[in-house]
Amino acid sequence: MTVIPTELLDLLERPLYAHLATTRPDGTVQVSPMWFGWDGELLRFSTTTKRQKYRNVKSHPHVAASISDPENPYRFLEVRGVVEEIEPDPDSEVFMQINKRYGSPFFEGAPDNAPDRVTIVVRPTGSSKYPKPWLWEKLKS
């Protein structure tokens, strides 16, 4: 059984923003809009060891992300998962792949914070889908 509904896979395949929810060490929630990579099995987020979200996933590896369809805000996907690995990315290879996926808007080469870069690898364990086309059609008319 697949965790991601087939009819919403395009939301992971397109360069959209994921709103990544992590849990702070004090138990409160932090949500960060982020670029991501998707290989059909795992989500990858690039960050640095200096950021709060890195500290969050080190202490609480369960995360969730929501991704909305910009053409239809009533069609979105929530992906729940566990951080399977935090991979060092000191050469920014993964960051540059994700940057390219989003049209390379910021960097032609590795960013200044490359030595601190890591990739948060998330294995989806569950999802919720919200395709409400009937509601979208009603609101548009």
Q: Which domains does the chain have, with CATH numbers?
A: 6-140 (2.30.110.10)
Candidates 99, 13, 23; CA nearest to 61 is 23
Amino acid 1: pLDDT: 41
* Dist CA 36 CA 54 (whole Å): 15
- 68-81 residue pLDDT tens: 999 988 889 999 99
What secondary structure letter does DSSP report for 41?
S
* Dist CA 100 CA 60 (whole Å): 29
The pTM of the whole model exceeds 0.85: yes
Residue type, 79: V
pLDDT (average), residues 118-133: 87
* Dist CA 57 CA 113 (whole Å): 19
Share of the chain above pLDDT 90, in %: 76
Other C-beta atoms closer than 10 Å to the C-beta of 55 total 15
- 98-113 residue pLDDT tens: 999 999 877 677 888 8
Which tokens go with 108? Answer: 């032609």
Amino acid 141: pLDDT: 65
Q: Give pairs for 33-37: CB < 8 Å, separation 24+.
A: 34/65, 35/98, 35/99, 35/101, 35/102, 36/65, 36/98, 37/94, 37/97, 37/98, 37/101
Amino acid 112: pLDDT: 87
* Dist CA 68 CA 111 (whole Å): 28
